[in-house]
Amino acid sequence: MAEAEESPGDPGTASPRPLFAGLSDITISQDIPVEGEITIPIRSRIREFDSSTLNESVHNTIMRDLKAVGKKFMHVLYPRKSNTLLRDWDLWGPLILCVTLALMLQRDPADSEKDGGPHFAEVFVIVWFGAVTITLNSKLLGGNISFFQSLCVLGYCILPLTVAMLICRLVLLAGPGPVNFMVRLFVVIVMFAWSIVASTAFLADSQPPNRRALAVYPVFLFYFVISWMILTFTPQ
Amino acid sequence: MATTAAPTGGARNGAGPEWGGFEENIQGGGSAVIDMENMDDTSGSSFEDMGELHQRLREEEVDADADTDAAAAEEEDGEFLGMKGFKGQLSRQVADQMWQAGKRQASRGFSLYANIDILRPYFDVEPAQVRSRLLESMIPIKMVNFPQKIAGELYGPLMLVFTLVAILLHGMKTSDTIIREGTLMGTAIGTCFGYWLGVSSFIYFLAYLCNAQITMLQMLALLGYGLFGHCIVLFITYNIHLHALFYLFWLLVGGLSTMRMVAVLVSRTVGPTQRLLLCGTLAALHMLFLLYLHFAYHKVVEGILDTLEGPNIPPIQRVPRDIPAMLPAARLPTTILNATAKAIAVTLQSH
């Protein structure tokens, strides 16, 4: 009896949510923990998990979170119409990606006069405030998505651009030149398109159908700015 | 184990048959109100009672579990649970009520101040509307006898400002602009948003002085859509580096969008002096902003300084540079301004 009441948020029995009504068809077995919350703000099941996961080893906790992050990375790399990113949102992945990108993009502090590259804080601020702005815009346009779900999706879809950054850095080791630039331009363009397709696949369903273009355009601008920072990066 | 402070549960010993009657009391009520008479019985019976009470109130089950654990622990010790149990449940009830009251107040405050629904009506647009407004912003309307309609929306202007930021960033990068004591992104955002908000406010203030019929929202929308011309001009001229082309576009496209804004303002203002003041200010600021954006963030390479020597050398020597191969150390902003001033002087003299 008590166990039944403690069960993690089984979508079929919670109060009605018009957006995720289809989730009642999906059954979640009792021993897969649900990491994120759906759009209902009231019910908080966090305390239950504290009491049941507090005694496990740190290794278990970290591996569980890392596996969840890794699963979402796979969903971004192969974007299908799925609700995983939205249903179990978490912000670990975006944080890891943002920190990696900012570390790789920052200019060398000793050469701050020569290069117009961004600081670490600048990249960080651009990513997070850009994501917040896009979320507010999509909510104001009448979207059905919650704040953190949108942040989660936008953050995870930076993964292709981070991969592009790694490739660009490797390519730059070969030395500058026009061929070098064309290769990097091609890689960045492909990854930019991938990011946009991935984020549209997740976000499109939450917008009213006739306003999808209005919601996708700022996403396009956001990833364009990040791609531009990656393409024009030159190590000193 | 009789509890003297509990008249109803006095004879209870935690025995089996007593449970049925107690449960009947709870379940027969069927209301969410805690019956205080039942509160003081604790000895060994609190497990299911508290569980049902909390389920009825839809509180968190953690409390029930914590209580059941505590109550189960106390069961072992046994004797005088009466007063402690009573106080325990009472304090729990008070704590629950305080939590509910606090949550209610916090959510009320939050919904009052952090409600983005205040801005929702300004974003109520369709893509077709945005497209038509973008095109209309380049077409000046002749009819100035009655006030022209201005769409009061913020989506289009906001997206245009962000687009201008992106284009500016592109231009700054390709021309290796170096910003000291600041960042490229910060400068771009500050410039564009500063222009949009600052000039809108200033023109709104002038409109107030000149008694023009325009609201702040309409002014923001008007100026925002006027930036569409700027976006086009800068996008083209940051990629095709021809001086004459820039001046042509500046006059043509910039002039069109300025004339549209001027026509709208003229239709909403009475009196020649007021019209002149308001529209002259707006036209000057709008055109000069485009000039500023082009020259301050799009550096001319050293080659143009050579053209100052003789008229035979073609003045167009600009080279797009995406990657700074070798940057001389003296790329200071003052050289930019000097080169700009000289370039303007040269072109003005040569035409």
Domain boundaries, chain A: 55-107+118-232
Q: How far apart are CA B294 and CA B171, in angstroms?
A: 9
B157 with B215, same domain: the answer is: yes
Q: Shortest CB distance from B184 goes to which of A116, A140, A142?
A: A116
**Residue B190 sits in the same domain as residue B233:** yes
Give residue-wise pLDDT tens across range B7-53.
444 444 444 455 544 544 444 444 555 555 555 545 444 555 555 55
What angle, 0 to 180 degrees and rounded to 10, lies between the N-to-C axes of helices B216-237 and B255-267?
170
State CA B187 to chain mean position distance.
18
**Which of A114, A210, A221 is closest, CB to CB, to B126?**
A210
> Do B105 and B235 reside in the same domain of the chain?
no
pLDDT greater than 80 at residue B233: yes
B111/B253 same-domain check: no
Question: Is B268 part of any domain?
Answer: yes
User: Do B227 and B100 have their domain in common?
Assistant: no
The DSSP output letter for B34 is -
Which chain B residues touch A53 with a CB distance below 8 Å? Answer: none
Please tell me whether residues B110 and B255 are part of one structural domain. no
**pLDDT class of B250 with cuts at 50, 70, 90:** very high
Name the token pair of B198. Answer: 């600052």
Model pTM score = 0.64
pLDDT at A144 (0 to 100): 81
Interchain CB distance below 8 Å, A6 and B61: yes
Inform me whether the pLDDT recorded for B299 exceeds 50: yes
Helix (H) or strand (E) run with residue A186 in it? helix A178-203
Tell me the pLDDT of chain B averaged across its residues.
Answer: 73
pLDDT value at position B180? 55
CA dist B156 to A49, A82, A211, B150, Å?
45, 31, 13, 13
pLDDT number for residue A87: 78
How many domains is chain B partitioned into structurally?
2
User: Does B321 fall in a domain?
Assistant: no
- Comparing CB atoms, the residue among B61, B186, B325 nearest residue A176 is B325
B109 and B185 in a single domain? The answer is no
Which residue is closest to B323 within chain A, CA to CA? A232
Buried b (16+ CB within 10 A) or exposed e, B214-238: beebbbbbbbbbbbbbbbbbbbebb
Q: Answer yes or no: do A137 and B185 touch at CB < 8 A.
A: no
The beta-carbon neighbor of B170 closest among A44, A181, A228 is A228
CA distance B229 to chain A (A): 18
Shared-domain flag, residues B219 and B96: no
A218 has a chain B CB within 8 A of its CB:
yes
The interface predicted TM-score (ipTM) is 0.72
Assigned domain for B263 exists: yes
CB contact under 8 A, A232 and B323: yes
> Long-range contacts for A71-76 (Cβ within 8 Å, ≥24 apart)?
A72/A156, A73/A156, A73/A159, A75/A156, A76/A156, A76/A157, A76/A159, A76/A160, A76/A198
Is B154 found in the same domain as B117? no
Domain residue limits at B183? 148-308
Chain B residues with CB-CB distance to A142 below 8 A: 120, 123-124
Q: What is the pLDDT, as a whole number, of residue B349?
A: 55
Q: For residue B220, what are the contacts with CB-CB under 8 A and spacing of at least 6?
A: B154, B157, B196, B197, B200
pLDDT at B192: 93
Residue B245 lies in a domain: yes
Is B114 at the interface with chain A, CB within 8 A?
Answer: no
pLDDT score of A15? 52
Pair B248, B103 in one domain? no
- Give the per-residue pLDDT at A51: 60
Contact status, residue B3 vs residue B81, Cβ threshold 8 Å: yes
The interface residues of chain B toward chain A in range 118-137, judged by CB-CB distance below 8 A, are 119-120, 122-127, 130
Whole-number pLDDT of residue A140: 86
CB-CB neighbors (< 8 A) of B183 in chain A: 118-119, 122
pLDDT, averaged in runs of 10, over chain A (236 residues): 43 54 63 63 52 79 88 83 74 92 77 60 87 89 84 91 92 83 92 91 81 89 90 76
B181 lies within 8 A of chain A by CB: no
Answer yes or no: are the C-beta atoms of A97 and A76 closer than 8 Å: no
Query: Which of residues 60 through 79 in chain B touch A, CB cutoff 8 A?
Result: 60-62, 64-65, 68
A139 in contact with B at a CB cutoff of 8 Å? yes
**Least CB-CB distance to B163: which of A2, A114, A221?**
A221
Q: Is residue B215 part of a domain?
A: yes
The C-alpha of B174 sits at a distance from chain A's nearest C-alpha, in angstroms, of 9
pLDDT given at position A204: 78
Mark whether B166 and B281 lie in a shared domain: yes
Torsion of CA B51, B56, B57, B59, to 10 degrees: 40
Query: How far apart, in whole angstroms, are the C-alpha atoms of residue A185 and residue A191?
Result: 10
CA distance linking residue B265 with residue B263, whole number of Å:
5
Residues A201 and A213 sit within 8 Å (Cβ to Cβ): no
Domain match, B114 and B204 both: no
